[in-house]
Structure 1
Amino acid sequence: MGDFEIKPEFAVKDETALRALFPDTHELAVKKVLGALDPHACDFIGRSPFLCLGTQDLDGRADVSPRGDHAGFVRILDRNTLAIPDRPGNNRLDSLSNIVTNPSVGLLFIIPGYDDTLRVNGRATIVNDPELLESMSVNGRAPKIAIVVKVRETFLHCAKAFRRSHLWDPEHHQNRSDMPSLVKMILDQTTGAPDDEDEMRKLDEGLEEDYRKSLY
């Protein structure tokens, strides 16, 4: 497969040219954007066990990180402020490093079984306030830091993407065994995975054991 090249004459390079390709925005789609969290947004966040966190560094290199916990793990501190606990991970700190240099973030809240989502955009700060962190403890373990987001805008997003993808439809769920395990894929991409099946199985079991020990 050769390298794909964009033909310059088909590159959309400004917003005027972009909007010329689409009908006008529906009036309700414009009005639905709020500057603070209303009761419906608060209820949605309180039911959500999963979100995607979008960040960028100063050079504009983007990153999206999944964040998951028990439903309602994101604390609503006031109508304009959220707090996201940072649970143990791989310590790459991609999102956190980006926030330190560029505080603009985008959040997408997801509830299992719901086709609609909630979007929140704002500015984030990394904090290690002991009182706040202790309030987000699980199994006696407080997070090391929290991501506090000052909300600039929030709005509900329609169901089209989830309907198209059939995300929650069991008939469209794929068998995880159709692809190699996570450990094998990462080893294939880096140092090379062992050919011995027993050795590979032990590595997979080691990852599962690490999950059990280090979720919090």
Structure 2
Amino acid sequence: MRDAPFFDEMVVKGHRPLLAIVVEIDEIFHHCSKAFLRSQLWDAETWDPEGLVPRRAVIAQLCERPEEPIEEIDAYYEVANYSKGLYA
């Protein structure tokens, strides 16, 4: 969706979104909250670092730029620079 009345409610630091995805839910299966706690899903120490896909790999594939040097992709999306410039 490229424009909708609710975009005005989504402005962050003066920037209105250009694009949004609307998700319609047909059915929800509510789960026991204790199961989420037991799963340790939110505990980063339980994650397998070998199972994580580097951001640069996803970006290279999505942008169809696999030939771009990994160092350039890393530099562009460096957490400090990206978070500071996101709403600049």
What is the TM-score normalised by the length of structure 1?
Answer: 0.26
Decide which structure has the larger Cα Rg and report it. Answer: 1
Structure with the bigger percentage of strand: 1
The higher relative CO (CA closer than 8 Å, separation ≥ 6) is in 2
Structure with the bigger percentage of helix: 2
